[in-house]
């Protein structure tokens, strides 16, 4: 009865101006089929992501970047997590992540980076283990 | 800070009552997951929904419910300073997971501190989601929200039941008289206080409204039900819709002053009783009882009755 | 040339011969292969033991829209170009031209501009929240002056400008035409296209695109305006490519593309626009991906279905209203981060399937696009791929070389049948707008995308270097890094523009735009929105300011 295995809750998001949603839609279905609850939003400002993550009480935030904004948006999300006192909430990013994006993304604190062709099983497992760790179930 | 697996009921309740987003969110999770803390929370805030107005919004897929709710929020905020929204979506019957996408259409309120939106997955069990939703409405009411809107897909029985626990029920229909209308006929119409034909900018909207009016008339529904036209895209008819919702709330208050919003039904009592028993199940005496059931000395039914008796005894000894 | 036994001089072959003789007078299109054997410009059943059948350039255009195709006029190479500020993109344009690219038809220069996401959606660089994307995956353009930089010194009457973008399309055409007007070019000499992807099949752009209903009204307005004032301008590109890239199957993508044409045509008919005036300027953007023969068959089926629908359902009479013009693009979603040089090979096969299908324009992706924006080297290699197919392989000597193949003909018929089934289903569901609004299209496409992904995961579908023939060693590739200063410079430039412009004139022009938009929304003065966009752009209104008015009046996709 109690929360021995509550469904992981995941927020998947992309910018409102980015029309590329195949990756994020596919990952949402894969996470659903792995028994997770996935909230989807398009953010206008990076701060929206954190506000929604708080209201939805998610365990992991996944941000998709197909058309720019990788570093700037991610840094702003981390700053807002800090400000809203949920600095421990894990963030992963995916999409077009270029070599020069990686150092600043890692410095900001992203837990995982997924590029095109990453095996879906790895992506799903990463969300699952980050969720469990965040809930103290690891 | 609030721990991810918070256990301090009093501390969490204080922060919920102060309107702290994270505390509200964590309290909702505890109720959804039926944790021990969640059970305590449910009982602590039981009945709080009497403090706020509740509006159920349902209708077939593609009716544009989320866009309409989003547009309505903007208008209703003038009258209800803080609005909570629950969007309920089905869980996958295969995996138990869910994709909760209704918020995509409510992006206008993504950073408004006076709007709190939460996506709930139905998690399969009929009745479970109704129970959870009641508890969550209580939490939002305790947190000081003036209006709670519950959006569900009006196709299945459980979704209709969820809408049924709200004070005023709004059924959203898309224009057109095809398959969607069949879905509406099958029960959803029966619960409606208000019917709105959304996407009124599309052809067929007027015809659909006429059809709905005729259908209600033939079924002998009273005239207080209204059929309205609105468009979340153009904004037409939204003000009138908000006024109609308000008028329904006012009518409810006048018809049953004092207890206008307090929903005391058999279901609620049964839920609360179950919660009390569930909380008690953690008691040490129960462990011994479990042993006897496990060894086959008592049947499950006998064990359950014994558990209820133990609970009743424990209540007597408190007094 | 072999002597063919022709049934009668009214048969398809005789008709074809007469058209070729009329249109191309004395030119011979006979080529020679390596063995010195003469190769005819087209083959048919007559060349073996079959009977006469449809010839290229004949209704319903299965075999192509021209009787003689590449033998007379090669495809237009339209490498995608655009990043950073207009001045930075201009440098890349000059390089491409120097390498023999940017060739339009009949000696024209041609450019295929792609814009950054804010521009593509119609937002100015200073719109809150978009800063990180400025100049990142395309050019940042928001005012008429930007085109004066981008196309400085170009003779616009001899330049074909293709503009690939979403909701920002109407305003973008306004900016371009205003720039052309300032430089004194006559609108009736300007050639090019705007994609006009202003609606949203999948609801995936969070309200940045127009409501389906508003979209079709705007498309009709632009079509009507251009038919009168910019007659050489291609006003709408239906993107089969984008539907496929979102994960749809080839059959679904062709069917939804035709359904979009049906919706646009119906809108035009409703507004009293003669279809024969506007339909010839509609075209398609088609994806060439993983199934070599299916790509060819789908193109042939697309042309046939398009011709039949426009003639039989809408009564179009002009042959140009029955001929599907196709801009081909290789599949971006097949490009892999792993072993990126493999993408060169994938792109070459995709391009070859497009050429064998008979297309009008071609974009071959850069092999490094999965890694980031293309490098100069990668863009040049894409161009070389096209040049090798055109000038080395001999694939261009014969029109519809796959025609008559048992396999390809059967596949073509099969796709046509399935496409008509889906169109009937969409009709039953109340038409395309209803299917978009109910989320049905999105569900269909997401399910197909998920299937595809699961095939890759299970290994049922091979992706070389990804799920088979995987190598361990990480490869270091040069990745293009856009100018990190672009955002700051674009915003400063915009602020300067706003300070220096005539605000009174600009405000009046935006008010006039709103008035025109309201009239058009209510079904009057079709064409006046586009006219007002040109005026507003000429009065220095920005893309974002014009877009705000259009969004207000025509509604967003919600």
ipTM: 0.93
Cβ atoms of C261 and C237 within 8 Å: the answer is: no
Question: B197 and B312: one domain?
Answer: no
Mean pLDDT of C536-548: 98
Evaluate the omega torsion of the peptide bond into residue C60 and state whether it is cis, within 30 degrees of 0. Answer: yes
Per-residue confidence at B255, pLDDT binned at 50, 70, 90? Answer: low
Per-residue confidence at C346, pLDDT binned at 50, 70, 90? Answer: very high
Q: Is A113 on the interface with B (CB under 8 A)?
A: no
Classified by CATH at the fold level, domain C76-399+406-458 comes out as TIM Barrel (3.20.20)
Question: Which range of residues forms the domain containing residue B284?
Answer: 267-318
Alpha carbons within 13 A on the beta-carbon side of C172: 31
Cβ atoms of C198 and C169 within 8 Å: the answer is: yes
Residue of C nearest to A27 (CA): C450
Per-residue confidence at B319, pLDDT binned at 50, 70, 90? Answer: very low
Residues 21-40 of A with CB under 8 A from C: 21-22, 25-26, 29-30
Tokens of residue C276, six digits: 């024969």
pLDDT at C351: 97
pLDDT at A116: 81
The answer to whether residue B68 sits within a structural domain is: yes
Tokens of residue C513, six digits: 């735009």
pLDDT tens track for C62-117: 999 999 999 999 998 888 889 999 999 999 899 888 887 777 777 889 999 999 99
Cβ atoms of C522 and C160 within 8 Å: the answer is: no
pLDDT at A108: 97
Mean pLDDT of C15-28: 88
pLDDT at C92: 87
**pLDDT at B180 > cutoff 70:** no
Strand partners, A38: A10, B99
Q: Is C430 on the interface with B (CB under 8 A)?
A: yes
The answer to whether residue B296 sits within a structural domain is: yes
Q: Are strands B98-100 and B83-89 parallel, antiparallel or unpaired?
A: unpaired
Say which of B5, B116, B119 has its CB closest to residue A39.
B119
Question: B277 and B133: one domain?
Answer: no
Say which of B104, B107, B199 has its CB closest to residue C437.
B199
Cβ atoms of B233 and C553 within 8 Å: the answer is: no
The answer to whether residue B14 sits within a structural domain is: no
Alpha carbons within 13 A on the beta-carbon side of A111: 21
Chains in contact with chain A (at least 3 beta-carbon pairs closer than 8 A)? B, C
**How confident is the prediction for chain C on average, in pLDDT?**
92
Q: Are strands B98-100 and C326-330 parallel, antiparallel or unpaired?
A: unpaired
Question: B191 and B312: one domain?
Answer: no
Question: Which residue would you say has higher pLDDT here, C381 or B63?
Answer: C381
**pLDDT at C492 > cutoff 90:** yes
Contact C204 A117 (CB under 8 A): no
User: What is the domain-level CATH number for residue B155?
Assistant: 3.40.50.300
Per-residue confidence at B63, pLDDT binned at 50, 70, 90? Answer: confident
Three-state DSSP state, C554: helix
Q: How far is A88 from chain C (nearest CA, A)?
A: 24
Last residue of a domain, one of B220, B239, B262: B262
C-alpha dist (Å) from residue C275 to C119, C151, C195, C264, C538: 31, 33, 19, 10, 30
pLDDT tens track for C164-219: 999 999 999 999 999 999 999 999 999 999 988 887 666 555 568 888 888 999 99
pLDDT tens track for C128-168: 888 888 998 899 999 999 999 999 999 999 999 999 999 99
Structural domain count of chain B: 2
Cβ atoms of C4 and C43 within 8 Å: the answer is: no
Tokens of residue B232, six digits: 């979340």
CATH classification for the domain delimited by A9-134, as one of 3.40.50.280, 3.40.710.10, 3.30.70.20, 3.40.1310.30: 3.40.50.280
The answer to whether residue B144 sits within a structural domain is: yes
Find which of B160-164, B315-319, C231-235, C244-248 is predicted with most confidence, using mean pLDDT.
C231-235
Q: How far is A34 from chain C (nearest CA, A)?
A: 13
**pLDDT at A5 > cutoff 50:** yes
DSSP C469-535: S---SPPP---B---TTHHHHHHHHHHHHHHHS-HHHHHHHHHHHHHHHHHHHTT-STTHHHHHHHH
The answer to whether residue B11 sits within a structural domain is: no
Q: B-chain residues within 8 Å CB-CB of C203? A: 104
Q: A-chain residues within 8 Å CB-CB of B24? A: 55
Mean pLDDT of C385-413: 95
Give percent above pLDDT 90 in chain C. Answer: 71
Mean pLDDT of C290-312: 97
Tokens of residue A95, six digits: 């999409």
Per-residue confidence at A127, pLDDT binned at 50, 70, 90? Answer: very high
Q: Is B64 on the interface with C (CB under 8 A)?
A: yes
- How many residue contacts between A and B have a Cβ separation below 8 Å? 106
């Amino acid at each position: 009865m109690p929360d021995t295995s509550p469904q992981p809750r995941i927020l998947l998001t992309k910018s409102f101006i980015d029309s590329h949603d195949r990756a994020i839609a596919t990952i949402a279905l894969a996470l659903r089929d792995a028994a997770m609850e996935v909230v989807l939003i398009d953010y206008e400002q990076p701060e929206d992501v954190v506000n929604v993550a708080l209201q939805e009480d998610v365990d992991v935030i996944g941000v998709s970047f197909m058309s720019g904004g990788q570093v700037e948006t991610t840094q702003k999300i981390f700053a807002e997590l800090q400000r809203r006192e949920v600095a421990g909430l894990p963030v992963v990013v995916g999409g077009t992540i270029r070599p020069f994006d990686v150092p600043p993304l890692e410095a900001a604190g992203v837990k995982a980076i997924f590029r095109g062709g990453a095996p879906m099983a790895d992506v799903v497992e990463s969300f699952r283990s980050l969720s469990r760790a965040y809930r103290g179930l690891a | 800070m609030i721990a991810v697996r918070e256990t301090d009921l009093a501390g969490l309740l204080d922060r919920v009552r102060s309107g702290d987003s994270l505390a509200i969110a964590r309290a909702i999770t505890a109720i959804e997951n039926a944790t021990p803390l969640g059970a305590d929370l449910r009982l602590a805030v039981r009945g709080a929904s009497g403090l706020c107005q509740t509006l159920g919004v349902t209708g077939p897929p593609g009716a544009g419910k989320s866009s309409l709710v989003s547009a309505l929020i903007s208008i209703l905020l003038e009258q209800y300073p803080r609005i909570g929204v629950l969007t309920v979506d089905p869980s996958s019957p295969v995996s138990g997971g869910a994709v909760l996408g209704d918020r995509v259409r409510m992006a206008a309120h993504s950073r408004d501190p006076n709007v709190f939106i939460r996506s709930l997955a139905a998690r399969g069990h009929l009745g479970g989601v109704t129970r959870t939703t009641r508890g969550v409405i209580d939490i939002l009411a305790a947190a000081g929200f003036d209006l709670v809107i519950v959006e569900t897909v009006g196709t299945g029985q459980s979704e209709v039941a969820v809408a049924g626990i709200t004070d005023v029920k709004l059924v959203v229909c898309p224009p057109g008289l095809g398959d969607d209308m069949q879905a509406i006929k099958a029960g959803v119409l029966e619960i409606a206080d208000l019917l709105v034909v959304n996407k009124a900018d599309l052809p067929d909207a007027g015809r659909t409204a006429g059809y709905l009016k005729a259908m209600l008339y033939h079924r002998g529904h009273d005239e207080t039900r209204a059929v309205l036209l609105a468009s979340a895209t153009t904004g037409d008819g939204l003000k009138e819709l908000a006024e109609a919702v308000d008028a329904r709330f006012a009518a409810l208050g006048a018809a049953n002053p004092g207890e206008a919003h307090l929903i005391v039904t058999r279901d609620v009592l049964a839920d609360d009783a179950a919660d009390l028993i569930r909380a008690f199940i953690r008691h040490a005496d129960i462990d011994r009882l479990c042993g006897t059931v496990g060894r086959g000395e008592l049947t499950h039914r006998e064990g359950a009755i014994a558990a209820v008796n133990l609970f009743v005894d424990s209540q007597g000894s408190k007094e | 040339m072999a002597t063919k036994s022709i049934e009668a001089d009214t048969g398809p072959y005789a008709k074809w011969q007469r058209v070729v003789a009329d249109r191309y007078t004395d030119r011979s299109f006979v080529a020679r292969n390596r063995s010195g054997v003469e190769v005819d410009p087209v083959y048919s059943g007559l060349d073996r033991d079959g009977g006469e059948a449809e010839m290229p350039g004949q209704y319903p255009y299965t075999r192509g829209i021209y009787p003689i195709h590449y033998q007379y006029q090669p495809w237009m190479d339209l490498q995608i170009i655009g990043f950073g500020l207009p001045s930075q993109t201009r440098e890349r344009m000059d390089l491409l031209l120097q390498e023999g690219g940017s060739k339009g038809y009949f000696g024209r220069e041609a450019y295929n501009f792609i814009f950054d996401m804010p521009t593509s959606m119609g937002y100015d660089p200073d719109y809150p929240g978009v800063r990180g994307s400025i100049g990142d995956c395309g050019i940042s353009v928001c005012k008429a002056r930007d085109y004066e930089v981008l196309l400085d010194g170009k003779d616009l009457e001899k330049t074909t400008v293709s503009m690939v973008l979403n909701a920002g399309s109407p305003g973008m055409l306004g900016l371009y035409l205003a720039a052309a007007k300032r430089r004194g070019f006559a609108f009736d000499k300007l050639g090019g296209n705007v994609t006009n992807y202003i609606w949203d099949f999948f609801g995936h752009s969070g309200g940045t695109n127009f409501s389906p209903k508003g979209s079709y009204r705007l498309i009709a307005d632009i079509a009507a305006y251009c038919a009168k004032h910019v007659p050489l301008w291609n006003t709408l590109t239906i993107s089969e490519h984008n539907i496929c890239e979102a994960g749809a199957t080839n059959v679904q993508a062709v069917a939804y593309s035709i359904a979009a044409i049906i919706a646009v045509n119906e809108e035009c008919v409703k507004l009293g626009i003669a279809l024969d005036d506007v339909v010839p300027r509609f075209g398609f953007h088609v994806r060439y991906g993983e199934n070599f023969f299916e790509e060819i068959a789908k193109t042939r089926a697309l042309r046939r279905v398009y011709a039949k629908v426009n003639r039989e359902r809408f009564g179009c009479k002009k042959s140009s209203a029955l001929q599907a013009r196709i801009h081909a693009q290789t599949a971006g979603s097949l490009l892999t981060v792993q072993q990126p040089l493999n993408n060169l090979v994938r792109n070459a096969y995709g391009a070859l399937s497009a050429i064998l299908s008979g297309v009008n324009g071609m974009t071959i992706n850069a092999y490094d696009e999965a890694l980031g924006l293309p490098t100069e080297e990668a863009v040049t290699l894409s161009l070389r791929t096209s040049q090798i197919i055109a000038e080395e392989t001999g694939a261009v000597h014969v029109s519809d070389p796959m025609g008559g193949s048992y396999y390809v003909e059967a596949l073509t018929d099969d796709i046509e049948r399935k496409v008509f089934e889906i169109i009937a289903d969409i009709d039953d569901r109340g038409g395309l707008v209803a299917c978009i609004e109910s989320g049905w299209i999105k569900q269909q496409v997401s399910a197909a995308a998920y299937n595809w992904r699961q095939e890759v995961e299970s290994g049922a579908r091979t992706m070389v270097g990804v799920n088979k023939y995987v190598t361990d060693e990480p490869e270091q590739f040069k990745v293009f890094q856009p100018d990190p200063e672009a955002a700051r410079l674009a915003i400063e430039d915009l602020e300067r523009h706003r300070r220096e412009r005539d605000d009174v004139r600009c405000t009046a022009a935006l008010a006039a735009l709103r008035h025109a938009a309201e009239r058009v929304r209510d079904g009057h003065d079709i064409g006046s929105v586009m006219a007002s966009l040109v005026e507003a752009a000429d009065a220095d209104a920005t893309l974002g300011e014009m877009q705000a008015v259009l969004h207000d009046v025509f509604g967003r996709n919600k």
